[in-house]
Amino acid sequence: MRKVKIILCLLISVVCFSQNKEILYNFTPLPQSLLTNPGADVKYKWFCGVPLLSGISANVGSTGFDAYSLFANNGVNFNTKVKDVIASTNRNDYVTANQQLELFSGGFRIGEPENQSYISFGMYQELDSFIYVPTDIAILSIYGNKDYIGKVFNLGDLDVKAELLSVFHVGFNKQLNEKLILGARGKVYSSIYNATSAHNSGYFYTVNGKNQIYDQAISSNLELNTSGAAKYLDENYDGDYATDIASDIKQNAFFGGNLGLGLDLGLTYYPQKNVQITASVVDIGYIKHRQEVKSYTFKGFYNFKGVLTDFNADGTLDNAYQDFKDAIPLDTLYTNYTTSRPLKFYSSIQYSFGEDRSTECNCEGDVDLGYKNAVGAQFFAMSTPRAPMLALTGYYRRRIFDALQIKATYTIDSYSFKNVGLGLSSQFGIVNFYILADNLLGYTDLAKANVLSFQIGFNIISQGSKK
């Protein structure tokens, strides 16, 4: 039971996954936009993120239900709420979130204005996982099979990833000519904790036989891989969780954990002076898990014929339960495994207008400062174990004055068709402060919001002189 509780904590309470950053993407007044497109058009002389304060972000989201459905103080029994949520979801619904903390960052320009390049670097910590709603498994666990004679329960509904990691990165951005900018970013991943259960399969069914005899069959091919948490899964563990977890994070965040490599690619292209096209692919990478690896398998086939109909019944018949455990044993393995990073694709097209003819405008830090306004559309796709996560965003950018820019977005995705976001970037001297918030309409009632996100930070940015 203790192992089950810890595994549930790994798989459910750490329910996070890298998400679409539609406000940050191509919002080039912010150096952090380079993390979503290493080929972004930035021209700062240099920048330095304020350590631990340059990038703080978090988001949570779910499809099919919201927090109000489970935790509303409306007099409805919690078990009833859980059943209602299960009834309203399917196996393609998921729960997501994202937490990221930039530890340090910086960048500087090299070369002449007509042939310039940019180098950026940094390190951030990220909590990253994904869980599909295991609909059939939840139905079987709560209701049993008595009222589902003939239904085939899909054990492959179990699909979850959870990871705490740190990422060190170095990027190179090159302006090839007046129209084209290319960029690439190399990454070293250091995984602190990981729990992965993917590509599962199997089924369970009960059918009527002859003379009130029921035929039940279970085919199971389930596996849970973990790394970094083996000692916590040991029945004899008697340490202090808080102290040991803090120690693990400190030790493994700086290349002491399970390591991997990654690559980001991006570009910006100007078919016309005021028309911009961008694209990027983020997190082409993998992590090899070798340290503190512990995996659990639940594999085998079991067939039972008898009068016992309820799979969740307390009693057993003729040692049927022991036969079941022998046929489908719970095994523990200690083999290495590899996980891939969730691959993300961004693209956008932007039209700028309202050319600023002010002689005082310093347009070096952001090419769009040459125009007061811009409108555009963005597309986002991310790989998941089943179907890609997709989002389409329309946006409007406005330079209110030299020190303040805003970006307003409207996003359609699997979470919501009414996601309105707003980003603000201010520049006073060399100090840059920004705040980005998504799904603003959801803040009127947080419990009923399917998705919420924000990002905030401080940078020191030297714009340099005008071209």
Please report the pLDDT score of residue 10 as a whole number: 43
Q: Determine if the pTM surpasses 0.95.
A: no
Largest CA-CA distance found in the chain, in angstroms, rounded: 93
Integer Cα distance of 21 and 79 in angstroms: 35
Q: Is 255 exposed, middle or buried (0-12, 13-18, 19+ CB in 10 A)?
A: exposed
Identity at 344, one-letter amino acid code: K
- What's the pLDDT tens digit per position in 385-442? 888 889 999 999 999 877 899 999 999 988 888 899 999 999 999 999 999 998 888 7
DSSP character for 386? Answer: S
Please report the pLDDT score of residue 140 as a whole number: 85
Beta bridge partner(s), residue 346:
280, 380
Can you tell me which residue has the tokens 């992590």? 287
Q: Minimal CA–CA distance to 17: which of 358, 414, 465?
A: 414
Q: How many of the other CB atoms lie within 10 Å of CB of 5?
A: 9
| 53-57, 218-222, 303-307: the lowest-pLDDT one | 303-307
Put residue 52 in one of left, alpha, beta given phi > 0 → left and psi -120 to 50 → alpha: left
Beta bridge partner(s), residue 206:
216
User: DSSP 3-state assignment of 272?
Assistant: strand
Determine the Cα angle at 142 with ends 140 and 144, to 5°: 45
Length of the chain: 467
Please report the pLDDT score of residue 465 as a whole number: 52
Q: Minimal CA–CA distance to 33: which of 58, 51, 54, 18?
A: 54
Q: How confident is the model at residue 297 (pLDDT cuts 50, 70, 90)?
A: very high
- What sign does the CA torsion over 345, 271, 33, 96 have? negative
- What's the pLDDT tens digit per position in 140-177? 888 888 888 889 999 998 888 888 999 999 999 999 98
The pLDDT mean for the chain works out to 83
Which structural domains are found in the chain, ordered by start?
Answer: 2-462 (2.40.160)
Six-digit token string for 133: 């709603």
Cα Rg of the chain (Å, integer): 26
